[in-house]
Structure 1
Amino acid sequence: MINPNWLQTFCTLVEVGHFTRTAEKLHMTQSGVSQQVRKLEEQLGCALLVRQGKQFTLTDAGERLYREGRQLVLALGNLEQRVAADPAWEGLVRVMSPGSVGLKLYRRLLALQCRHPALVIDYRFAPNADVERAVAGGGVDIGFMTARSSLEEVSVRPVAREPLLLVTPAAVAEPDWETLCRLGFIDHPDGAHHTGLLLGANYAEYESIQQLEKTGFSNQINLILEPVSLGLGFTVLPAHAVEAFDHPAHVRIHPLAHPVSETLYLASHRRKAMPNRVKMVEEEALQHL
């Protein structure tokens, strides 16, 4: 393989046309320039220059090497610049979070992409365990979780708190225990967990979700309140999911005596450097939480 430093020296010599000025341009000695050209000739097994005192002309091999080699030198220079560049508003940023947080952030990050079209937002909705594994495996740049990580590779820090809300059909005025039992529960993937936290803190009768008749289920965060709005049951959801519902007049949020919130954690890989574009997207996301 041709030594790229020798190739650059040779191409510069051809362009400058003088050993001394080439040495000055490359911050080398004149003997260093001559030595690198000779090493290149030895490696290729052919003469590249015909030396005539302080002057020289190119051999056929020298002309071919310069013609093709100059493109390689330029490409290597451009590659070096691209690798070293770390633009803040250009490139792919992969984000993953539970659905409620995603409903809050995704549109804001799309607005950021509209302002900076060279930025590409890849946003995935996923439960905590999937977010944790993706961050640890390098599959995402930014993760949001509602629980601390148990994996050594994942670093988390608390960044916000999100209230859990009891939501019933709009006609329900007082959500006492008997009313909730009569309504039935619209379940979702985090239903048992959220219900245990909120109802357990506010209803002495609550022991487990098994006490409540399940009258529906959806694993789509933006659809969970649809059956509630039709009077088919009640549910417990994080505030961001409730705020994103398109028909707020058809449901009712009930303040309870003992509010409960989940801590939202920002997760990143403990040993990976964060590019500027990821830092900028992270800063934008945190402004909206």
Structure 2
Amino acid sequence: MINTTWLRSFCTLVEVGHFTRTAERLHMTQSGVSQHVRKLEEQLGAELLVRQGKKFSLSDTGEKLYASAQDILLALSNLEQSVGEDSPYEGAVRLMSPGSVGLKLYSHLLALQSEHPKLIIDFRFAPNTDVENAIAESAVDIGFMTSKSTLADVSCTPVAQESLLLVTPASVEEPEWDTLMTLGFIDHPDGSHHANLLLGANYPEFQHSNLFPRKGFSNQIGLILEPVSMGLGFTVLPAHAVEAFQRPEQIKAHRLARPVSETLYLCALRKKAFQRRIETVIAEARRWL
């Protein structure tokens, strides 16, 4: 394989037509330029220059090499430039989070993309385990999780707190234990976990969410509050999911005597530096969390 440094020296020499001025342009010694040309000739097994004292002309092989090298060096230059570019507002950013966080962030990140159309937001909603696996496999650039990763390759930094809320139909003024038992529980993928955290801290009668009659289930974060709004049951959800519900007058979010929050972590592949566009998205996410 031809050494591109030697090739660049040869092409510059052809363009400048003088060893000393070539050395000055390349910040080399004249003997260094001569050595590069000689190494190329040895590698190709052919004379590139026809030397005439201090002057030279190109041999047939030299002519062919110079003609072909222009495209090669231009392509290398373009490659270096494209790889070296690190715009804060261009390129795709792949991120993943649980649904509640996604409901909070997605519209704001789309607004950021509207301001900078070359910035592409690729946002996936997924539970914590899927988020950490995607990060470990480099399927996403960053993720948000509501628990620290157990994988050694995934680093997690706390960035925010999100309150858990008891949500009932709007008609419920005081969520007494008997009232909850009568309503029944609208479950979701994190329903048992959230209920254990919030209800366990506030109701001495609580042992497990299975105590409540199960009145429904949804794995779509935007739909979990639909049955609650219709009076079919209650649930426990993170605050961002509650705030995103389009008909807040049909539900009631209760902040209980002993508040419970989940820590939100920014997670990424350990020891991998962020590109500037990823830093842009992280800064925007922090702004709204």
State the TM bucket, normalised to the shorter chain. over 0.9
- What TM-score, normalized by structure 1, do the two folds share? 0.96
Question: In the alignment, what sits opposite 2:74?
Answer: 74
**Unmatched 5+ residue regions in structure 1?**
none
Instruction: Give the stretch that moved more between structures: 19-28 or 81-90.
Output: 81-90
Identity %: 66
Query: Aligned ranges for residues 109-258 of structure 1 at < 5 Å?
Result: 109-258=109-258
- What TM-score, normalized by structure 2, do the two folds share? 0.96
Question: In the alignment, what sits opposite 1:95?
Answer: 95
How far the C-alpha of 1:113 sits from its partner, in A, is 1.2
User: 2:81, 2:136 → 1: CA distance?
Assistant: 29
Alignment size in residue pairs: 289
User: 1:50, 1:220 → 2: CA distance?
Assistant: 76
How far the C-alpha of 1:240 sits from its partner, in A, is 0.2
- RMSD (CA atoms): 1.3
User: 1:206, 1:39 → 2: CA distance?
Assistant: 82
How far the C-alpha of 1:64 sits from its partner, in A, is 1.7
How far the C-alpha of 1:173 sits from its partner, in A, is 2.2
Paired residue type of 2:243: E
SS in structure 1 of the partner of residue 96 of structure 2: strand
How far the C-alpha of 1:137 sits from its partner, in A, is 2.5
User: 1:66, 1:120 → 2: CA distance?
Assistant: 41
How far the C-alpha of 1:47 sits from its partner, in A, is 2.0
How far the C-alpha of 1:65 sits from its partner, in A, is 1.1
How far the C-alpha of 1:52 sits from its partner, in A, is 1.7
Question: In the alignment, what sits opposite 1:264?
Answer: 264
String of CA shifts for 1:49-99, please: whole Å, max 9, x gaps: 222222222222222211110111122122223323322111221111110
Question: In the alignment, what sits opposite 2:41?
Answer: 41
How far the C-alpha of 1:139 sits from its partner, in A, is 2.2
User: 1:255, 1:87 → 2: CA distance?
Assistant: 43
Structure 1 ranges of 4+ moved more than 6 A: none
SS in structure 1 of the partner of residue 186 of structure 2: strand
User: 2:204, 2:39 → 1: CA distance?
Assistant: 87
User: 2:211, 2:236 → 1: CA distance?
Assistant: 15
How far the C-alpha of 1:36 sits from its partner, in A, is 1.4
Paired residue type of 1:79: L
User: 2:31, 2:152 → 1: CA distance?
Assistant: 54
Paired residue type of 2:47: A
User: 2:218, 2:153 → 1: CA distance?
Assistant: 32
User: 1:263, 1:10 → 2: CA distance?
Assistant: 60
User: 1:246, 1:233 → 2: CA distance?
Assistant: 18
**Unmatched 5+ residue regions in structure 2?**
none
User: 1:32, 1:154 → 2: CA distance?
Assistant: 48
User: 1:32, 1:234 → 2: CA distance?
Assistant: 80
